Amino acid sequence: TDGDTILVYPGTYNENVDVYKQLNITSTGGASVTNVVAASEGDHVFDITADGVSINGFSVSGAGYYKAGIYLQSCSNNILKNNNVENNYYGIYLHYSSKNTLTSNTAANNDDKGIWLHHSDNNVLTDNIAVNNNDIGIFLSSSDNNMLANNNVENNAMESIRLFSSSNNKLINNTAEDNNCGISLSSSDNNVLTDNTAASSNGYGVELYHSSNNTLTDNNVENNVRTGIYLSSSSNNKIYNNFFNNPDNAELDGINTGNIWNSTKAAGTNIAGGSNLGGNYWAKPDGTGFSQTHIASDGDGICDVSYVLDGDNTDYLPLTNITTSDDQSTGNVITVDDSGSANYTSIQAAINAASPGNTILVYPGTYTENVDVNKELIIRSYSGNPDNTIVKAASSNDHVFYLNADNVTISGLTIKDADADGIRAGEFRGSSGTSNNNTLINNIITGNDFGISLSYSSGNVLDNNSISGNNISIYMGLYSGNNILNNNRVSDGIYLEMSRNNILSNNRVTADDYSYAGILLEFDSTNNTLRNNTILDNNHGIVLENAAYNKLDNNTILNSSVHGIMLDGAYKNKFNNNTIANSSSFGITIYQSVYNMLENNTVLSNGIGIYLNLDSNNNTLTNNIVSDNGDGISLNFHSDNNELTGNTISNNNRGIYVADSVNNMIFNNFFNNSINKEFGTDYDMESDNIWNTTQTARTNIMGGPYLGGNYWATPKGTGFSQTCTDSDGDGICDSAYVLDGNNTDYLPLTEITAPEKKISSSGGGDGFGEATIREPENAIDNATMSAQDDSKLLSVESIEYSEEGEVETIDEATEEGSGTIPGFSVLPAIGVLLIVYIIHRKKDQ
| Banded model confidence at residue 364, pLDDT cuts 50, 70, 90 | very high
| Banded model confidence at residue 131, pLDDT cuts 50, 70, 90 | very high
Better pLDDT: 805 or 364: 364
Better pLDDT: 807 or 836: 836
**Pick from 160-164, 191-195, 593-597, 784-788: least confident:** 784-788
Average pLDDT over residues 21-45: 97
pLDDT-above-70 percentage for the chain: 86
pLDDT per residue as tens digits for the range 316-353: 999 998 765 443 334 478 999 999 889 999 999 999 99
| Banded model confidence at residue 382, pLDDT cuts 50, 70, 90 | confident
Better pLDDT: 274 or 115: 115
| Banded model confidence at residue 434, pLDDT cuts 50, 70, 90 | confident
| Banded model confidence at residue 200, pLDDT cuts 50, 70, 90 | very high
Task: Please report the pLDDT score of residue 592 as a whole number.
Answer: 97
**Nearest alpha-carbon partner for 539 in 566, 562, 510, 508:** 562
Q: How far apart are CA 219 and CA 196, in angstroms?
A: 5
Q: Looking at the predicted structure, is the pLDDT value of residue 585 above 50?
A: yes
CA atoms within 13 A on the CB side of 343: 17
Q: Rounded mean pLDDT of the chain?
A: 87
Task: Please report the pLDDT score of residue 781 as a whole number.
Answer: 41
CA atoms within 13 A on the CB side of 538: 30
pLDDT per residue as tens digits for the range 395-414: 999 999 999 999 999 999 99
Domain ranges of the chain: 370-745, 756-841
Could you tell me which residues come within 8 angstroms of residue 340 by beta carbon, excluding any fewer than 6 positions away? none
Q: Provide the CA 451 distance to its chain's centre, in angstroms.
A: 32
| Banded model confidence at residue 520, pLDDT cuts 50, 70, 90 | very high
Could you tell me which residues come within 8 angstroms of residue 28 by beta carbon, excluding any fewer than 6 positions away? 7, 8, 9, 10, 34
Counting other chains too, the contacts that 459-462 makes at CB distance below 8 Å and 24 or more residues apart are 459/483, 460/425, 460/436, 460/484, 461/308, 461/486, 462/486, 462/488
- Residue 351's φ and ψ, nearest 5 degrees, are -65, -45
Q: Looking at the predicted structure, is the pLDDT value of residue 842 above 80?
A: no
Q: How far apart are CA 466 and CA 474, in angstroms?
A: 11
Q: Looking at the predicted structure, is the pLDDT value of residue 699 above 50?
A: yes
pLDDT per residue as tens digits for the range 750-778: 998 754 433 333 333 333 333 333 333 34
Task: Please report the pLDDT score of residue 784 as a whole number.
Answer: 43
| Banded model confidence at residue 514, pLDDT cuts 50, 70, 90 | low
* CATH architecture of the region 370-745: 3 Solenoid (2.160)
C-alpha distance from residue 233 to each of 23, 188, 255 (Å): 47, 12, 5
The helix/strand count (H/E) of the chain reads as 4, 94
pTM: 0.69
pLDDT-above-90 percentage for the chain: 78
Q: Looking at the predicted structure, is the pLDDT value of residue 175 above 70?
A: yes
Q: What is the number of other CB atoms lying within 10 angstroms of the CB of residue 726?
A: 18
Average pLDDT over residues 665-685: 86
| Banded model confidence at residue 686, pLDDT cuts 50, 70, 90 | low
Q: Looking at the predicted structure, is the pLDDT value of residue 644 above 70?
A: yes
Average pLDDT over residues 173-179: 95
| Banded model confidence at residue 227, pLDDT cuts 50, 70, 90 | very high
Average pLDDT over residues 733-759: 81
**Nearest alpha-carbon partner for 598 in 616, 623, 564:** 623
Q: Looking at the predicted structure, is the pLDDT value of residue 828 above 80?
A: no
Task: Please report the pLDDT score of residue 845 as a whole number.
Answer: 32
Task: Please report the pLDDT score of residue 324 as a whole number.
Answer: 54
Task: Please report the pLDDT score of residue 46 as a whole number.
Answer: 98
| Banded model confidence at residue 297, pLDDT cuts 50, 70, 90 | confident
**Pick from 41-55, 212-226, 421-435, 669-683: least confident:** 421-435
Task: Please report the pLDDT score of residue 788 as a whole number.
Answer: 37
**Pick from 262-266, 286-290, 394-398, 603-607: least confident:** 286-290
Could you tell me which residues come within 8 angstroms of residue 681 by beta carbon, excluding any fewer than 6 positions away? 659
Task: Please report the pLDDT score of residue 687 as a whole number.
Answer: 60
Could you tell me which residues come within 8 angstroms of residue 670 by beta carbon, excluding any fewer than 6 positions away? 647, 648, 649, 650, 701, 702, 710, 711, 713
Q: Looking at the predicted structure, is the pLDDT value of residue 815 above 50?
A: no
- Residue 484's φ and ψ, nearest 5 degrees, are -120, 120
Q: What is the DSSP letter of 326?
A: -
Task: Please report the pLDDT score of residue 685 as a whole number.
Answer: 54
Could you tell me which residues come within 8 angstroms of residue 149 by beta carbon, excluding any fewer than 6 positions away? 124, 125, 126, 127, 170, 171, 172, 173, 174
Within 429-473, residue ranges assigned H as helices are: none
